[in-house]
Amino acid sequence: MLSTTLPGAPTVYYGDEVGLAGFGSDVPRDDPYNRQPYPWADAAGYGALPEWRKADAGLLAVYQQLGTMRSQYSFLRTGSFDTLLTDDVANVLAYGRQNEDGVAVVIVNRNKTSQVVTVPVDGYLPNGLELTNALGSLSATVTDGAISLPVNGLWGAVLIHEGAIVPPAAPEKLTAREDTSAVHLNWQKVKDATAYRIYRSYLSGGGYGLIAETKDTRYTDETVTNGMMFYYIVRAVRDGLQGPASNEAGAIPHWRISGLLIQWPPEIVHTLAAGQPTESIYGRVRVKYETEKPGAIEGIIMQVGYGPARSQPATWTTWQPMTFNKDYSAETEAVLLREFEEWMGALYPDTAGEFTYLVRASATAGREWVYGGLRAGINRGGALTVLPSPDTTPPAAPTGNC
């Protein structure tokens, strides 16, 4: 059965179609048993052969039935291959073959005893669809997204439905609006759709998992993490039959940074030395209602960088990561940020000169940045003076042979 329902050309080895069994170990032979003569019914002496040497007419009829079935239904030859069920415990395999002419659901029961097999087809076939068993008399109807059928041991079923299975169209114009701890999705209505399924992935183009089903054309995902990128697609559903995917929409739910500045120091004088950082630089960041809570806010990243005075900090290539240092609570109204997080980092200058340094924070994984300087803002960054190294003597030339 597998050879005539799986993709590719079916192959029947010589004599298998009639149960050619070989002479048996009690008759010594130099040639392999699989090279014995075919038991032609019109050959002389056929009637005197023991039954186990004769052609199995019942088995031949099964092979003929399988061949006719494959020839009759194009979806068994050129249809898709869709795995529907793999159950190692019950020894059951089920898969679908589908094209514009119809669909087949193939069930293989490798168990030695008969059992009722339930195949999940939610999204693959519509509820109420009737299928006939090409290898038996029982039929099956899709109910609540599944097909149930008793299947004999070491045998199977090939459930057939002729006629195209037409799913609902793909939703169009899916959009994703970013919010704090939420992503708001919207899409256009699909004619005849009874529901919509929302899928989400951490990667663009694949890896989607179902997160919700709704009858509306909008959905808010509140099971997200701020500062992470999420990708979404939506599929329309009609009576359990799922259509193709919408366009993909991505979003980064994120905090709103309400304050950022350099805490200390206001200026740095640093002497060049290979691989040596400046003194530590401290920055403050505030997210309303969140920095009051203990610990670093998940989804915020901070950096410190330097560049020529009055240049655009977005063009600087000297940015270095900062790490969370501690929570801080100011005691007077005179402090710009009463409840904030303190972060720390350092710079690694490699050129002498006069520079400005700033801190920056991102709640969108580096897609956008908020810049902060001293209390006066971005136009008053910290002053960085980098002095040349006093060591001007180059190392001696290497000696000895290489």
d(CA 304, CA 276): 16
Q: Model pTM?
A: 0.82
Q: What number is the average pLDDT over the span 51-75?
A: 92
Q: Look at residue 138 in the predicted model and tell me its pLDDT.
A: 86
What is the per-residue pLDDT across 278-316, written as a single tens digit (0 to 9) for each? 999 999 999 988 888 888 899 999 999 999 988 999 999
d(C-alpha 74, C-alpha 359), whole Å: 66
| pLDDT-derived band at 331, boundaries 50, 70, 90 | low
For all residues of the chain together, what is the average pLDDT? 91
- pLDDT for the residue numbered 137: 83
pLDDT of residue 332: 45
Of 92, 65, 85, the C-alpha closest to 76 is 65
Query: Does residue 178 contact residue 253 with C-beta atoms inside 8 Å?
Result: yes
Domains of the chain (ranges; CATH) run 2-19+56-162 (2.60.40.1180), 175-251 (2.60.40.10), 257-387 (2.60.40.10)
Q: Residue 391: which pLDDT band, with cuts at 50, 70 and 90? A: confident
pLDDT (average), residues 39-65: 87
Per-residue pLDDT at 19 exceeds 70: yes
Residue 399, classified by CB atoms within 10 Å of its CB into exposed (0-12), middle (13-18) or buried (19+), is exposed
Query: Higher model confidence: residue 389 or residue 227?
Result: 227
**What single DSSP character describes residue 78?**
H
Question: Is 225 in a helix, a strand, or coil?
Answer: coil
Higher model confidence: residue 44 or residue 330? 44
What was the pLDDT predicted at 88?
A: 96
Decide which of 395 and 75 is more confident.
Answer: 75
Beta bridge partners of 251: 230
Dump pLDDT digits (tens) for 139-176. 999 999 999 999 999 999 999 999 999 999 999 999 99
CB-based contact 72:86 (threshold 8 Å)? no
**Which pLDDT score is estimated for 27?**
57
Average pLDDT (81-87) is: 98
Task: Return the pLDDT at 210.
Answer: 98
In this prediction, residue 373 carries a pLDDT of 92
Do residues 369 and 361 touch, judged by C-beta distance below 8 A? Answer: yes
Question: Residue 333: what pLDDT?
Answer: 45
Band (pLDDT 50/70/90 cuts) for residue 376 is low
Instruction: Examine the pLDDT at 256 and tell me if it is beyond 70.
Output: yes
Residues whose CB is less than 8 angstroms from the CB of residue 5 and which lie 6 or more positions away in sequence, other chains included: 70, 76, 97, 104, 106, 158
Q: Do residues 124 and 96 make contact, with C-beta atoms less than 8 angstroms apart?
A: yes
Residue 20: per-residue pLDDT:
80
pLDDT exceeds 70 at position 125? yes
Which tens digit of pLDDT belongs to each residue from 181-209? 999 999 999 999 999 999 999 999 999 99
Q: Higher confidence at residue 389 or residue 102?
A: 102
pLDDT at 203: 97
